[in-house]
Amino acid sequence: MEFVRHTLPSGLEIVAELNGDARSVALGFFVEAGSRDETEEVSGVSHFLEHMAFKGTPTRSALDVNREFDEMGARYNASTGEETTLYYAAVLPECQDRAVRLLADILRPSLREDDFNTEKQVILEEIRVYEDQPPFGADEKCKAAYFGAHPLGRSVLGTAQSITALSAEAMRRYFRARYSPSNIVLAATGRIDFDALIATAEESCGVWERFDAPRSIRPAEPNQKFLTVHRPEATQEYTVQMSDGPAGDEKQRYAAKLLARILGDDSGSRLYWALSDPGLAEHAVLRHYEYAGAGLFVTYMSCEPERTADNLQVVLDIYRNAQTAGVSKEELSQAKSKVSSRIVLSSERPMGRLSYVGNEWVQRRRYRSVREALDTVASISVDDIQSVLTGYPLSRSTTVTIGPLAEVPQPA
């Protein structure tokens, strides 16, 4: 596999990992636009805008967009996060040009007033369902408590208030502030014809107007809180716990991911053996997430309400024990096997490589081959894990529980 790149005069970067053995191509426009670029007034506009991209362009109706993806037999979608909006498609190699043209076209959507108003109802319904169904927006509530007024504390979906108040003109302003070609990376993986890719991108995106679109990265000032939200209609109690973790620009983030596997992977981890396997919790996992200038450990737990207090104590004891006694070589070795095997298995498909290659470039302007990724995992030592445990104490967290309990005692 070979890595190649090219920058258009407009600033749009094209990066590709070429793999002649692949039978498909994966293509994605990574736009540096997400909830952390929003003010409270336009909270949710990045995600809403992503929806609008599929509602028509100056040359295509929404029907045309849908039909053309289907005619190619494309596997396609889009997603919005805190830092990136991604539009992607996986197609057979002979459809490469057509898919690039179509994706490029929807990145200049018409944003028509009536489509905007129709879609607004869809988004409001999405927010309502998210709040009304388990886990009742627990994740967003914990983020808000943990990050406070920092942009990372806001929901990607926005709020019913912000979306209701949002105007099409405000969305157009946001579009003109974030969707500069200099703010967009076109990533491609698989059996890519790179010369053709450059030519098609030049033709489809060359005319996009370039402007300054800086992102302000405010340092986070996390809180430590313990909140209980009462939802009498729930049958389970849902807990989300957040604590500081290595950020996207810190080397320790690799060790952080292995630590999360050791303590809280879905199976075979300390949380698994202590809570999930014996049936004390339906679900108990630890994850690590990284952003520019901020990192996060998140514990998710759901269980019968009456078990909540005991389980929270078990979680805290597991974290404290790890902080003082560290992890074993066997645990680290098992976590490495899991992570390495995931890297290799996901690398077998161009779609599996797309998000890795694209995000690596967007976040760090760097390419990492499968080999390099595996070498990094192999190089992590028990001491590296210990440094993370010491530098980012999991026991110092913000906790939100949502469910039938009116009160939950804080573990000691």
Binding site for a second copy (CB under 8 A): 21-24, 66-67, 69-75, 90-92, 265, 267-268, 277, 333-334, 337-342, 344-345, 347-351
Contacts of residues 163-169 at CB distance under 8 Å and 24 or more positions apart, as own/partner, are: 163/43, 163/44, 163/48, 163/120, 163/123, 163/124, 163/127, 164/120, 164/124, 165/41, 166/42, 166/44, 166/45, 166/48, 166/120, 168/111, 168/112, 168/113, 168/116, 168/117
Please identify, using beta-carbon distances, which residue of 39 and 333 lies nearer to a second copy. 333
Please identify, using beta-carbon distances, which residue of 64 and 250 lies nearer to a second copy. 64
Contacts of residues 317-322 at CB distance under 8 Å and 24 or more positions apart, as own/partner, are: 318/263, 318/270, 318/271, 318/274, 319/263, 319/393, 319/394, 319/395, 320/395, 322/259, 322/263, 322/270, 322/389, 322/394
Give the N- to C-terminal CA distance of the chain in Å, as an integer: 52
Rounded to a whole number of angstroms, the minimum distance from the CB of residue 145 to a second copy is: 30
Which class for 381: exposed (0-12), middle (13-18), buried (19 or more C-beta within 10 A)? exposed
Rounded to a whole number of angstroms, the minimum distance from the CB of residue 365 to a second copy is: 27
What are the start-end ranges of the H helices in 35-94? 45-52, 62-71
Rounded to a whole number of angstroms, the minimum distance from the CB of residue 375 to a second copy is: 15
The Cα 233–Cα 226 span in angstroms is 21
DSSP category for residue 275: I
Rounded to a whole number of angstroms, the minimum distance from the CB of residue 348 to a second copy is: 5
The Cα 304–Cα 25 span in angstroms is 45
Please identify, using beta-carbon distances, which residue of 173 and 342 lies nearer to a second copy. 342
The Cα 146–Cα 297 span in angstroms is 11
Rounded to a whole number of angstroms, the minimum distance from the CB of residue 173 to a second copy is: 28
Please identify, using beta-carbon distances, which residue of 199 and 378 lies nearer to a second copy. 378
Please identify, using beta-carbon distances, which residue of 6 and 349 lies nearer to a second copy. 349
Neighbours of 386 (CB within 10 A): 17
Rounded to a whole number of angstroms, the minimum distance from the CB of residue 231 to a second copy is: 17
Rounded to a whole number of angstroms, the minimum distance from the CB of residue 37 to a second copy is: 30
Rounded to a whole number of angstroms, the minimum distance from the CB of residue 66 to a second copy is: 6
Q: Residue 21: helix, strand or coil by DSSP?
A: coil
Please identify, using beta-carbon distances, which residue of 178 and 353 lies nearer to a second copy. 353
Rounded to a whole number of angstroms, the minimum distance from the CB of residue 282 to a second copy is: 10
The Cα 215–Cα 37 span in angstroms is 7
Rounded to a whole number of angstroms, the minimum distance from the CB of residue 267 to a second copy is: 6
Q: From 262, 206, 196, 213, select the one nearest 394 (Cα to Cα).
A: 262
Q: Which two tokens stand for residue 125?
A: 């319904």
Please identify, using beta-carbon distances, which residue of 14 and 74 lies nearer to a second copy. 74
The Cα 194–Cα 68 span in angstroms is 22
Please identify, using beta-carbon distances, which residue of 126 and 202 lies nearer to a second copy. 126
Please identify, using beta-carbon distances, which residue of 223 and 340 lies nearer to a second copy. 340
Please identify, using beta-carbon distances, which residue of 69 and 254 lies nearer to a second copy. 69
